[in-house]
Amino acid sequence: MVSIMDYFDEVSSALSKLKKHNTKIDLVVEKILEVYKNNLKILVAGNGGSNADGLHFVGELVCTFVNRNRKPISAIELSSSQPEITAWSNDFSYKTFLERKIEAHGNNGDIAIFLSTSGGDYNDDSTINLLKACQKAKEKNIFTISLIGKTGGLLKDISDLFILVENDVTSIIQECHMSILHKICYGIEKKIQHV
């Protein structure tokens, strides 16, 4: 566990390591701009704090980040409907809820972005929903991107593109994920006027 006195130093160190992912982040920006040009959509999913980060990111895409004059980017956070989550989980299983949402909303050419501090495995009930959703996305020819932490888990292996935060502390990984998402927003809005 990180001591409270060293927390900001740990965050700063983790953020500085993200610079090596600039090329991957630029690729994510280009992929999103391609979706924007073709009137397709971004699907975003995560659990817990990663769900909240996904909602935040979708808000930036649909509404605005800094450019108040741009058109909206079509984006959906897949875990934001409590009636859908509870209905599917009650009648079937939470493990397959996100897979069902990909099946409902995902189309060829869309992008799916998965946020997970661990990257998950099939023995971890808390992330199996993301793994199943990622597999469903790939079946539907949806480009899959994962923002992950720790060792990257299975999402690292099954995603088309991944960005790994090299840290074991959940909160630090989430702060880095949010910084990555904000950098993606900056990149999009810098280039969107030329699309």
Q: Give the pLDDT of residue 114.
A: 98
Assigned domain for 104 exists: yes
Establish how many alpha carbons lie within 13 A of residue 145's alpha carbon, considering only the half-sphere containing its beta carbon: 23
Which residues form the domain of 160? Answer: 28-194
Q: Give the pLDDT of residue 51.
A: 95
Here the CATH number for the domain that contains residue 98 is 3.40.50.10490
User: Rounded to two decimals, what is the model's pTM?
Assistant: 0.94
Q: Give the pLDDT of residue 5.
A: 77
Please state, as a whole number, how many other Cβ atoms lie within 10 Å of the Cβ of residue 70: 16
pLDDT digits (tens, 9 = 90+) for 81-139: 899 999 999 999 999 999 999 999 999 999 999 999 988 766 777 789 999 999 999 99
Reading the block at residue 157, the tokens are: 């292996």
pLDDT digits (tens, 9 = 90+) for 31-54: 999 999 999 999 999 999 999 999
Residue range 152-175: mean pLDDT, rounded: 95
Report strand pairing: 111-116 vs 75-77.
Answer: unpaired
HEC readout, 135-162: HHHHHCCCEEEEEEECCCHHHHHHCCEE
Assigned domain for 96 exists: yes
Q: Give the pLDDT of residue 67.
A: 85
Is the separation of the CB atoms in 42 and 29 below 8 Å? Answer: no
| pLDDT > 90: percent of the chain | 85
Is the separation of the CB atoms in 172 and 10 below 8 Å? Answer: yes
Local structure of residue 39 (DSSP, 8 states): T
Assigned domain for 20 exists: no
Residue 192 or residue 47, greater confidence:
47
Reading the block at residue 185, the tokens are: 């927003």
Assigned domain for 180 exists: yes
As for how many domains the chain has, the answer is: 1
Q: Give the pLDDT of residue 142.
A: 98
For residue 184, what are the CA distances in angstroms to 23, 94, 106, 133, 148?
11, 30, 21, 22, 15
